[in-house]
Structure 1
Amino acid sequence: MEILSSIVGIVAEHTVVPIGRQASYLIFYKGNFSMLVVHVKDLEAAKERITHLVEEEKRNGRKIETDVMNWLEKVDGVIEKANLLQKDHRRANARCLAWSFPNLILRHQLSWKATKIVKDVNEVQEKGKFDRIGYLPTLDGEASSSSSSSTRGGEIYETRESLKENIMNALAHHNSCNIGVYGLGGVGKTTLVREIAEISKQQKLFDAVVTTHVTKDPEIKTIQGEIADLLDDIWTILDLEKVGIPFGNEHNGCKLLMTSRNQDVLLQMDVPKDLTFKVELMSENETWSLFQFMAGDVIKDSNLKGVAIQVAKKCEGLPLVVVAVARALKDKRDVQSWKDALRRLQSGHHTIFSALELSYDSLESDEMRDVFLLFALFPSQMVDYFLKVAMGLDILKHVNSVDDARNRLYSIIHSLEATCLLEVKASGSIQMHDFVRDFSISIARRDKLVFLRKQSDEEWPTKDFLTRCTQVVLDSCVYELPQMIDCPYIKFFCLSSKKNRSLKVPDDFFEGMASLRVLDFTYLNLSSLPTSFRFLTDLQTLCLNFCILENMVEIEALQNLVILCLRGSSMTNLPREIRQLTQLRMLDLSDSGIEVIPPNIISSLTKLEELYMGNTFVNWGDANSTVQNKNASIVELQKLPNLTNLELQIRKTWMLPRDLQTVFEKLERYKIAIGDVWEWWNSKRGLSTKWRRISVAETSPRPK
């Protein structure tokens, strides 16, 4: 290890970037091979899932798409390369053993190969997302696939195909700019537009195709970040010039395809009436075809078919309802369950809500139902936020670590996706259909006594309701808080004050919330934390994101805090009181203004499992100095035996300890940037394997 330390020292003295790509291969040898094992397992799991789908398609008489077969072949090749490297007998000479020193050149080569194969694994896995796996082969005399009807599971939907063809013709016409699609909620507008977007990509009609969601209260920056050529699902008139979208004669190459429930909204968005296309309800035959496909083999039971046809008819031609009901009944083989479903659909005041309640009740556990209701409260939030909240509320059962909780949450999300109640975007945000969200919020209000305030003119609930409610969510619509609210059973309080950064939180505000487990303050100016924090002894999760923070003395009272998130907050010094939070398992300081961390704070958090400091430039002390530093040094991370996940930014080479391997070798996932980094790479932690990648950033000097 002394020789390796010397090499690191030489690198540090003679390079601008102390641990660039080359030195990292030596230091992170063990981590790179651990990373290889993790990612190969992920790829093998993805391969297994696709293989199961392929087998199912073959059993149904379908042919497999060529790109799917090519992908499986590439997967086998990459996995074989990884296995050969892991079994390479030369690895014995590259390890650090007590009685011998490793062959550094060989260690470098093997580590480099491991990193290269991980990159190949990730690239292959990213390409393993298919719109469909198989297709029904055409019969002799039938038209080619390019002119065949729309299919879902091989079934034909003539009306949708005709509409799709008309929209594609409008997109291809050189004079068209704005095109609109309208129809009832749940009728399938978004699905239709996604199919058109995919065809446009395949036919290379445009350089780029992007979708975005325009809500009742549009978030301009979010829209600007997602938009290129295609707008999807518009609730209200949008100022195109404000979000920077070329329109009209300004840019003839830009086409806007918009969906709305209201044709008038499209007309006010300058869509010509002859370029507005209505999506009609599905016919009875189309409805039954889709229902059979979604319900599966259970529909073939002669005892069920009669009632199943009646259930399908009650879906009233709305694909959203058909899918929700069919998925809920897919594994029900007793006629009583089907008759009960029919009764509920017949007696329901609103077909869609009745169908969604049936689907909701069919979820396999209260744990899954609680997670589903939580998602509805925060449109488009990232998965990592829900992890913090779900852990704090103790929704996730039988988990022993943060990583266990994350895996359990991912599993629940995948199950909810399978029921078509939600979807996860590539960015890692949770998306729900508007009807699904409205339904979920109504259930949360009814069953969980949730108070959700979205408009400033909404009245506060009665004192009686507050004494019973369990969750309060105030969404950027509060201009004054009461001195105190009496909520003895409240578990979750969330307040975003983006529209009123000067909002004051009274000192006694939390005195009546002794049962609070999760507190989320966003965009607040907190000159000091309320003194009533001392009553929050059960608090598990505290999020103070994008806040201006000064005096945080009261935080020391939160002795049972497990998760502390100060992402994007403005503060220079990490408060010394945080060292009292000895139960912390996750600390998130990403994108914050923290520059100074006093010694012995980080090292006192011995239960810490995950530490995130990406894009946070801390003035670390000299880890190799024998003199007491004013600031904490990176070597304090050695005193965190449970640390597995780390994101870290390191400014200067002298901040690094010589024996880097002992600091970082136990980590399972990390992102580390060293040097004068002027841009932190994308660190969104969604469901993708990229979040789990062990990587070292190649850094570069600040551009002049």
Structure 2
Amino acid sequence: MGKGKQFGYFCCYKSNFDHLTKEVEKLRERRESVQHRVDFAKENGEEIEQSVENWLISVDKIVEEAGKFVEDDEEANNPCFKGLCPNLKNRHQLSKKAAKEVKAIVELQDEGNFDRVSVRGISRDRLVAYTESYNEGHDFIESRESILNDILDALRGPYVSMIGVYGMAGIGKTTLVKEVARLAKEGRIFDEVVFAEVSQTPDLKRIRREIADQLGLNFCEESDSERIMMLCDRLKREKKILVILDDIWTSLDLERTGIPFGDVHRGCKILVTSRRRDVLVSEMHCQNNYCVSVLNKEEAWSLFSKVVGNCVEDPDLQTVAIQVANECGGLPIAILTVARTLRNKPLFVWKKALQELRFSARNFTGLEALLGSTIELIYNNLEGEELKLTFLLCSLMKHPCDAPIMDLLKYGTGLGLFEDIYTMQERRDRVYALVRGLKDNCLLHDDDTADWFSMLGFVRNVAISIASINLMVRNDALIEWPNKDMLKNCIAIFLHDINTGELPEGLEYPHLTSFCMNPKDPFLHIPDNFFADIAIIGNLKNLEILSLCCSDIEQLPREIGELTQLKLLDLSNCSKLKVIPPNVISSLSQLEELYLGNTSVEWEFEGLNLERNNASLQELSILSHLTTLEIHIRDAVILPKGLFSQKLARYKILVGDVWDWPGKSENTRTLKLKLPTNIYLDEIIMNLKEIEELYLDEVPGIENVLYELDRKGLPALKHLRAQNNPFILCIVDSMAQVRCNAFPVLESMFLHNLIHLEKICDGLLTAEFFSKLRIIKVRNCDKLKNIFSFSIVRGLPQLQILKVIKCNNMEEIFSFGGEDDVGYNEVDKIEFGQLRSLILKFLPQLTSFYAQLKSSDELDTPKPLFNERVVFPNLETLELYAINTERIWHNQPVAVSPGIRNLTRLIVHGSEKIKYLFPSSIVRNFVQLQHLEICHCTVLEEIVSKERGEEATATFVFPKVTYLKLCNLSELITFYPGIHTLEWPLLKRLEVYGCNKVKIFTSEFLSFPKNSEEIQRNIPTQQALFLVEKVGSHLEELKLSGKDITMIREGRLPTYLFQNLKILEVVNEKL
């Protein structure tokens, strides 16, 4: 080494040491930034990259070594030669080592520029079962976990838009994709996830309807083209949506289905399951395909033994048990069903089961044969012929993946399943019990839906195979009618979606008791004598159930009045039905259930000396056995007195022309009223027992909803909607009433356009009031000043959604009510533990979310919208529109920060008083935030305020934000008033315009002070909103003002920032 360089170490001793100190500080800052990202990733269950872990260790090591230089520097400054000169030898060594350390530190700084610090993993405790009923505490299935992670990773990526999952029937494809759906929605990969079963004979109309129902879309138009357009437009409105199409057998035309795909809607991704790989590859053109195969022997035995329990430890039984488990072929559903069936059974049952598994499969090959033998084993072990027949009957429904219990009731009656049960209600209860038994045996999907059931496809195939031996025939693809000998022993024939084109001349099957046909072709030719041997319908004197639902019948035959034994008449969804001849309904003296929903019957008023051409509503009151009624009476004027009997146990009654007939619902007792007068209101409410869903529109004369309608407190009511009523003053007035536990099971309350509503509740209520309330929506109630008082808030443990819009005198959402609110001052915080969504819009008088008593010295202090007592530990959505408070949050962030850690969507629009939005400590808790909008805040100067004791420089990381919109903020000067760095690693959509006082983009280091003096003196510094290096390269959409596009046009920004950009929009603010 040259002497000049060696001499340089002496001369540059101080500058080398200063340089080292500065670079160590930079490295510390870089480490802190990386550590923030690591902490966020760990909180979200992600796995940290090993390279990141190693880098953090290296940084800690080199920083520790650098600390020793301080001590060595002091030693180097110790004098030698009796104080005549400094210790030159030590200075030379330290200076040389400092120069080397600076080089190593700079290299570490560069290595710390990680694009990502983690990979998303699914922890074992979050991985749920992949087959129905897989909920008995067993560990995850490792072979399934890798597929699940691969699918989720592919869905996150920008290049894959269609993914396929294939495998044999019953292997667990459907359950796997449902778990993908759950994790995708939970992980915020998609805004919406919808699911539809396609099946072997796809019904595009049904598929559209299923998807539309999940999106809350109602089809009003009749034509297919209009429905396709409506569904397509609705799907396009979702920025990120996953469409799951289950059980595809052949190519599905996505365009004809109404699903936008590819360039039409890049945010729509499709996940498809099929039994055939070639369908996914050659016909659906899936980019990634994943095979779901059987479990290996170790996984299968582990699952089997855990379900069976300790009995497999018996040496005599264990040998047989291992053979039985092996016979299940690694199929999770087979393992579960067999294990449950044999649990706690003696050895001889195990041996018999082993024989059946090996030898009893029929009409199947390979693994399908194994499934057949497995299900047949369960079928043979069902208790009683009644349960077995119900199992076979379930497979014969047109859509057994989602079939109504009502169909089982109808067809079971036709097959003589309930010969010893007289009333329809008792039969219905029996059907519920039978379905429960099949679910317990894993032959039906076990869910919480009471009035619907679903059967897995492979179970259905096995059931049809069993049924076709000598009981029933079903064929989804019937091309030509079978010969007479083949059907002569059938007791029932169920034909769905047949394509024969023509039926035979007649039905001559002596044992036939049930015949069900749903032709796919609406123009199917039915010969005149096809039913020649069946007497006209009026001669079927013993007929108990008649269903003409969904038919095009326009007038009910008069002969139906002769069916005096009829117990159930279903005319629902006969939209063209207008005429029911007079006295036909009243002649059905044994009728128990009448379904007239979604019909167009023109009811006539029964008066003196008037000859009628149509039925009157008075005829219903004659039906003394009626227990179930579904009806829509559009003209309330013809409503007669005493129409609804107290015997009604199940009902869906709509009165008035404002209601649409509801679709699938779990509520069995629904009443929707629009009445010109309340003359019969008391009688209606009194007679209808245990109303679950109550809608009131323009019902005059009611001031107090609860006690004027039902002094018992509507104990069964789950959903209440009151709208368009100028008379209602309060919902509950307990001041002068006998107190009871009102609304003990109420789940949702919608109050709309009640212009004189002053209070929702008046008086002291018990803790049981509203204890189940989950949803509150209030709109256009101008006299309402608050929603509830403190005493009621304490009893809202289930509240999940709160939405208040356009209530011009609303002062606070929840208030301190004075005398009724005992113990208010003793409460440190008010926690809304289950609140997920809070939306407050256009409330000009609102000053506080939760009011509190103020001391005299606080009276002139502006109140924040959310004070220190309010905590939302699980809030996900917060939307504030035209809220005129000066502050949103208080200045004591420690208490509130846990309440926003789960926030994913935050919108602030139209504030005219707020000068800053968030304290800096609040922002650091936005670890889950994905969507941020701040618009039309006319005096907003900064988005994040600087707090006392804040560090000279600040870093704000938004690890999950994908959408950011800042528009029309005319006074905005800076994001944060101090020196700061913003990081947006996942930002995909950025909209900034109408912010003329702030620079939008700059490059790193350009906006920082050139010396540290300004930092030390804490001089406010105006920075651009975004350092391009901190935005990331994920931008897909960019919307800017014309003046802010200059840097892009002149090429002063790095090109990688726009490598994924798809949409660039320039706003002309002069227009």
1:175 and 2:188 are equivalent in the alignment: no
User: Aligned partner of 1:325: which letter?
Assistant: V
Alpha-carbon deviation of 1:173? 1.2
Q: 2:560 aligns with which of 556, 578, 583?
A: 578
Partner of 2:1056: none
Tell me how far apart the structure 2 counterparts of residues 348 and 300 of structure 1 sit (CA, whole Å). 28
Matches within 5 A, 1:583-622: 583-592=565-574, 593-622=576-605
CA contact (8 A) 1:246 1:254 kept: yes
Tell me how far apart the structure 1 counterparts of residues 592 and 249 of structure 2 sit (CA, whole Å). 42
Go from structure 1 to structure 2 and tell me whether the alpha carbon gap of 1:533 and 1:695 turns closer, same or farther (over 3 Å shift).
farther
Alpha-carbon deviation of 1:669? 1.9
Deviation digits for residues 635-679 of structure 1 (CA, Å, limit 9, x no counterpart): 22221111111111213233111x33x633331221211222462
Partner of 1:469: 490
Deviation digits for residues 123-168 of structure 1 (CA, Å, limit 9, x no counterpart): xxxxxxxxxxxxxxxxxxxx99846584652323222212211111
User: Aligned partner of 1:343: which letter?
Assistant: Q
Q: 2:196 aligns with which of 212, 223, 228?
A: 212
Partner of 1:369: 388
Go from structure 1 to structure 2 and tell me whether the alpha carbon gap of 1:625 and 1:672 turns closer, same or farther (over 3 Å shift).
farther
Alpha-carbon deviation of 1:695? 4.7
Tell me how far apart the structure 2 counterparts of residues 407 and 298 of structure 1 sit (CA, whole Å). 36
Give ranges in structure 2 of 5+ residues lacking alignment: 1-119, 130-136, 212-241, 362-368, 672-689, 700-1071
Go from structure 1 to structure 2 and tell me whether the alpha carbon gap of 1:374 and 1:689 turns closer, same or farther (over 3 Å shift).
farther
Deviation digits for residues 170-190 of structure 1 (CA, Å, limit 9, x no counterpart): 111122211122223322222
Partner of 2:377: 358
Partner of 2:1060: none
Tell me how far apart the structure 2 counterparts of residues 288 and 556 of structure 1 sit (CA, whole Å). 61
Partner of 1:335: 347
Partner of 1:5: none
1:441 and 2:464 are equivalent in the alignment: yes
Q: 2:261 aligns with which of 226, 229, 247?
A: 247
Partner of 2:297: 284
Partner of 1:81: none
1:421 and 2:443 are equivalent in the alignment: yes
Partner of 1:134: none
**Structure 2 counterpart SS, 1:155:** coil
Tell me how far apart the structure 2 counterparts of residues 212 and 149 of structure 1 sit (CA, whole Å). 25
Go from structure 1 to structure 2 and tell me whether the alpha carbon gap of 1:575 and 1:345 turns closer, same or farther (over 3 Å shift).
closer
User: Aligned partner of 2:573: which letter?
Assistant: D
Partner of 1:489: 511
Alpha-carbon deviation of 1:427? 9.8
Q: 1:389 aligns with which of 411, 414, 420?
A: 411
**Structure 1 counterpart SS, 2:463:** helix
CA contact (8 A) 2:635 2:657 kept: yes
Tell me how far apart the structure 2 counterparts of residues 397 and 330 of structure 1 sit (CA, whole Å). 33
Tell me how far apart the structure 2 counterparts of residues 499 and 144 of structure 1 sit (CA, whole Å). 49
Moved more, 689-698 or 619-628: 689-698
Matches within 5 A, 1:251-290: 251-269=265-283, 271=285, 275-290=288-303
Alpha-carbon deviation of 1:431? 2.9
Larger radius of gyration: 2
Alpha-carbon deviation of 1:501? 2.4
Matches within 5 A, 1:481-630: 481-507=503-529, 509-510=530-531, 532-534=533-535, 554-592=536-574, 593-623=576-606, 625=608, 627=610, 629-630=612-613
1:159 and 2:180 are equivalent in the alignment: no
Alpha-carbon deviation of 1:487? 0.9
Tell me how far apart the structure 1 counterparts of residues 329 and 668 of structure 2 sit (CA, whole Å). 37
Partner of 2:172: 188
Go from structure 1 to structure 2 and tell me whether the alpha carbon gap of 1:346 and 1:690 turns closer, same or farther (over 3 Å shift).
farther
Go from structure 1 to structure 2 and tell me whether the alpha carbon gap of 1:700 and 1:503 turns closer, same or farther (over 3 Å shift).
farther
CA contact (8 A) 2:251 2:284 kept: no
User: Aligned partner of 1:608: which letter?
Assistant: L
Partner of 2:630: 647
Partner of 1:431: 454
Deviation digits for residues 404-458 of structure 1 (CA, Å, limit 9, x no counterpart): 111111111122122221227759554322221221111111141x233433434
Matches within 5 A, 1:91-106: none
Deviation digits for residues 507-534 of structure 1 (CA, Å, limit 9, x no counterpart): 2x34xxxxxxxxxxxxxxxxxxx5x432
Count of matched residue pairs: 512
Tell me how far apart the structure 2 counterparts of residues 286 and 687 of structure 1 sit (CA, whole Å). 42
Partner of 1:36: none
Alpha-carbon deviation of 1:240? 1.2
Give ranges in structure 1 of 5+ residues lacking alignment: 1-142, 511-529, 535-553
CA contact (8 A) 1:620 1:631 kept: yes
Tell me how far apart the structure 2 counterparts of residues 262 and 304 of structure 1 sit (CA, whole Å). 38
User: Aligned partner of 1:414: which letter?
Assistant: R
Alpha-carbon deviation of 1:300? 4.9
Go from structure 1 to structure 2 and tell me whether the alpha carbon gap of 1:679 and 1:427 turns closer, same or farther (over 3 Å shift).
farther
Partner of 1:319: 332
Go from structure 1 to structure 2 and tell me whether the alpha carbon gap of 1:687 and 1:331 turns closer, same or farther (over 3 Å shift).
farther
CA contact (8 A) 1:668 1:694 kept: no
Structure with bigger RCO (C-alpha 8 Å, 6+ apart): 1
User: Aligned partner of 1:466: which letter?
Assistant: L
Partner of 1:125: none
CA contact (8 A) 1:585 1:610 kept: yes
**Structure 1 counterpart SS, 2:554:** coil
1:344 and 2:356 are equivalent in the alignment: yes
User: Aligned partner of 2:201: which letter?
Assistant: D
Matches within 5 A, 1:395-414: 395-396=417-418, 398-414=420-436
User: Aligned partner of 2:156: which letter?
Assistant: A
Deviation digits for residues 565-592 of structure 1 (CA, Å, limit 9, x no counterpart): 1223333333222221110111112222
CA contact (8 A) 1:533 1:557 kept: no
Partner of 1:107: none
CA contact (8 A) 1:572 1:595 kept: yes
CA contact (8 A) 2:248 2:273 kept: yes
**Structure 2 counterpart SS, 1:664:** coil
Alpha-carbon deviation of 1:209? 1.2
Partner of 2:476: 454
RMSD value, Cα: 2.9
Tell me how far apart the structure 1 counterparts of residues 315 and 579 of structure 2 sit (CA, whole Å). 72
The structure where helix makes up a greater share of residues is: 1
CA contact (8 A) 2:308 2:339 kept: yes
Q: How does the TM-score come out when normalised to structure 1?
A: 0.67
**Structure 2 counterpart SS, 1:670:** strand
CA contact (8 A) 2:537 2:560 kept: yes
Go from structure 1 to structure 2 and tell me whether the alpha carbon gap of 1:501 and 1:601 turns closer, same or farther (over 3 Å shift).
same
Deviation digits for residues 283-318 of structure 1 (CA, Å, limit 9, x no counterpart): 112111221233345445554222112211111111
**Structure 2 counterpart SS, 1:255:** strand
Alpha-carbon deviation of 1:257? 1.4
**Structure 1 counterpart SS, 2:319:** helix
Partner of 1:111: none
Tell me how far apart the structure 1 counterparts of residues 694 and 208 of structure 2 sit (CA, whole Å). 30
Tell me how far apart the structure 1 counterparts of residues 520 and 247 of structure 2 sit (CA, whole Å). 25
